[in-house]
Amino acid sequence: MSELPGFRDARYAQAMKREIENLSENRQLRIVHVCGTHEDTISQHGIRSLIPRNLGLVAGPGCPVCVCAAEDVDMAIAIAKQGHIVTTFGDMFRVPSTESSLAKERTKGADVRIVYGAIDAVDIARKNPEKEVVFVGVGFETTAPTIALELLRKPPPNFSILTSLKVIPPAMDLLVNIEGFSVDGFITPGHVSAIIGTNAFQPFVEKHHVPCVAAGFEPLDVLEAIRMLLVQINEGRAESENEYTRVVLPEGNIAAQRVLAQAFRIDDAPWRGLGIIEKSGYFIQEEFAEHDARLRFNFPDIESVDILPGCRCHEVILGMVDPVDCKLFGKRCTPEDPYGPCMVGHEGTCRIRHENLIL
């Protein structure tokens, strides 16, 4: 890809379209991606209209706030209600939970602040030593190292983190084990792969014999990844390949992996609407327990509800239904007033679909 003159060149897109048509040979095939940014590229650039109808291109669980379990949001809300300062990313701020959201709590007087990263939350903690300051950390392997780094930098004692950080490969494992879920190849997220490397997906491809290609975020990146997957499928191969060679290394970013391993341990974690997925979440190492909001605060007994009545986010996240199949889409549930988590952020499948239908 790096030899191409431009990543949005229509001539190359047309040539790739023809090659994809030839390689797919009119067979019914299903390619799944697990990345909100890929879904944004695919929808914005009309990639589904470029590829043959027999080739399904499906969005899986790739939006971090969409898969953030209601129990994690409920914990953040409980901390805010106790009078502490809660900080988080803009998308997380509006994610609906069992009965409320951080945004709604702020309108009731809670001190909830939007920050660009954990470093800003640490700064707030230093400036408010008399207050407890909690950062709600949401994201995948891409975001996790920046949060981990703040733990290693000796934050002030009044700073803690509520982790809701997820690991992608175990979610792919879950998908292929769901009865009735079919997948012929995965496009894996370029930014996640930049951290963990394409080698991290090798155990998955060996276990399930499903090819993977790590892709960048330009339209031609995605088309090239589809082409590479089709070549693997036609040759009966299943390997973890790399389309995003200008960023991703097979071994990933070793320094970031070290930071992650120092600050976090990997354990079973809840995903919204999907239940507990084994070894799929980053949690704070015992050494940093004083900064672990899960241990630092008391939480009321709440029966958290991941999926509110009528919402089909759990099916959208699995690529089993299209957002427009949800009766609430564009009516009770809009980007201005999201009812389910997939309508909140720019990586949410329902939000992306809504914006591209309106445009």
- In angstroms, give the least distance from the CB of 220 to ligand SF4: 29
- In angstroms, give the least distance from the CB of 72 to ligand SF4: 17
Of 33 and 94, the one with the shorter C-beta distance to ligand SF4 is: 94
- In angstroms, give the least distance from the CB of 127 to ligand SF4: 36
- In angstroms, give the least distance from the CB of 336 to ligand SF4: 12
Of 155 and 345, the one with the shorter C-beta distance to ligand SF4 is: 345
Task: Give me the amino acid identity at 85.
Answer: I
Residue 106: C-alpha distances to residues 71, 112, 252, 345, 347 (Å): 19, 6, 39, 18, 23
Q: How far is CA 15 from the centre of its chain?
A: 31
Instruction: Decide if residue 145 touches ligand SF4 (CB under 6 A).
Output: no
Dihedral pair phi/psi, residue 342, rounded to 5°: -75, -5
DSSP string, 15-28: HHHHHHHHHHTT--
Pairing of β 275-284 and β 159-166: antiparallel
Question: H or E segment at 240?
Answer: strand 240-242
Binding mask of the shown chain, residues 306 to 325, with x at each position contacting ligand SF4 by CB under 6 A: -----xxx--x------x--
CB 354 within 8 A of CB 70: no
Tokens, residue 30: 């299903």
Token match 């990997």: residue?
266
DSSP string, 46-103: THHHHS-TTEEEEE-S--TTTSB-HHHHHHHHHHHHTT-EEEE-HHHHT---SS--HH
Token match 């695919």: residue?
42
Of 103, 38, 108, 134, residue with least CA distance to 341 = 103
- In angstroms, give the least distance from the CB of 351 to ligand SF4: 8
- In angstroms, give the least distance from the CB of 191 to ligand SF4: 23
- Which one of the spans 57-65, 98-106, 288-296, 336-344 is the region binding ligand SF4 (CB under 6 A)? 336-344
Of 12 and 329, the one with the shorter C-beta distance to ligand SF4 is: 329
Residues in the interface with ligand SF4 (CB under 6 A) total 14
Instruction: Decide if residue 343 touches ligand SF4 (CB under 6 A).
Output: yes
According to CB under 6 A, which one of 57, 68, 233, 328 is a site residue for ligand SF4? 328
Instruction: Decide if residue 326 touches ligand SF4 (CB under 6 A).
Output: yes
Q: Which residue is nearest to ligand SF4 (CB)?
A: 340
Instruction: Decide if residue 333 touches ligand SF4 (CB under 6 A).
Output: yes
Instruction: Decide if residue 200 touches ligand SF4 (CB under 6 A).
Output: no
Residues that bind ligand SF4 (CB under 6 A): 311-313, 316, 323, 326, 328-329, 333, 339-340, 342-343, 350
